[in-house]
């Protein structure tokens, strides 16, 4: 849409200058506001004001509001994916890899609550359908990276119950539930974070995997 890739001739008007700078400025401002005030607080007009342009200008660089915030989320989820890939390559046993990945996952969620909510708690009410394309894909790849070791464990017959797939989904869901609740109900008196995380991981792995 915005970038002219199709000028076959030389020296086509380069998409440099203001255009690219603006895009970065917008993303930076949007990220700042989104982190501080969440999805509803990150208004098009507020972002535009922060950049110092009119709200209409944002539509020069992004299709709509969701695209801006999802692009920010892509960055963040990309980092999580990188961590997962790194862990996946370490020469340690599968159970340890699972544990490290899920720990990283939960810490990511607690460190980036708004991003986490946008990507993993977004009802289709707020994010509507297929806009998530890229972000959802990154999320999928995170899950796959993490379900790899689980299937290893399943293949070696060490799963006490259920299929490898269901075990992977359950482990993911349990960790999701913990951080999601802690994020959306921060005023509850939770047991210490570390304890909750360890009880979840140890409990489930102990219950699902035979030694």
Q: Applying CB under 8 A, which residues contact a second copy?
A: 38-41, 117, 120-126, 160-163, 165-167, 169-170, 172-178, 180-181, 183-184, 190-192, 195-196, 198-200, 202-208
**What is the spatial distance between Cα 180 and Cα 174, in angstroms, rounded to a whole number?**
10
Per-residue b/e over 94-116, b at no fewer than 16 CB within 10 Å? Answer: bbebbbbbbbbbbebbeebbbbb
Nearest to 105 by CA among 174, 38, 188: 174
- Taking the complex as a whole, how short is the minimal distance between the CB of residue 121 and DNA, in angstroms? 18
* 61 vs 97 by CB, closer to DNA: 61
125 binds DNA (CB under 7 A): no
7 binds, among DNA, a second copy, none (CB under 5 to 8 A by kind): DNA
- Taking the complex as a whole, how short is the minimal distance between the CB of residue 22 and a second copy, in angstroms? 27
- Taking the complex as a whole, how short is the minimal distance between the CB of residue 87 and a second copy, in angstroms? 21
Which of the residues 28 through 87 are near DNA (CB under 7 A)? Answer: 42-46, 48, 52-57, 59-61, 64-66
Q: What are phi and psi of 159, to 5 degrees?
A: -90, 125
47 in Cβ contact with 66 (< 8 Å)? no
């Amino acid at each position: 849409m915005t970038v002219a890739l199709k000028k076959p001739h030389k020296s086509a008007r380069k998409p440099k200058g203001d255009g690219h700078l603006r895009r970065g400025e917008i993303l930076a401002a949007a990220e700042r506001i989104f982190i501080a005030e969440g999805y509803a607080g990150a208004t098009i007009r507020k972002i535009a004001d922060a950049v110092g342009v009119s709200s209409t200008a944002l539509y020069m660089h992004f299709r709509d509001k969701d695209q801006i915030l999802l692009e920010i989320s892509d960055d963040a989820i990309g980092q999580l994916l990188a961590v997962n890939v790194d862990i996946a390559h370490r020469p340690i046993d599968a159970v340890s890899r699972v544990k490290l990945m899920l720990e990283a996952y939960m810490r990511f969620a607690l460190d980036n609550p708004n991003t986490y909510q946008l990507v993993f708690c977004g009802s289709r009410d707020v994010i509507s359908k297929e806009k998530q394309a890229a972000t959802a894909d990154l999320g999928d790849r995170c899950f796959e990276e993490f379900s790899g070791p689980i299937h290893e464990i399943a293949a070696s017959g060490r799963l006490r119950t259920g299929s490898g797939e269901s075990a992977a989904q359950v482990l993911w869901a349990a960790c999701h539930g913990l951080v999601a609740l802690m994020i959306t109900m921060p005023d509850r008196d939770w047991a210490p974070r570390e304890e909750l995380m360890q009880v979840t991981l140890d409990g489930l792995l102990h219950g699902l995997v035979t030694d």
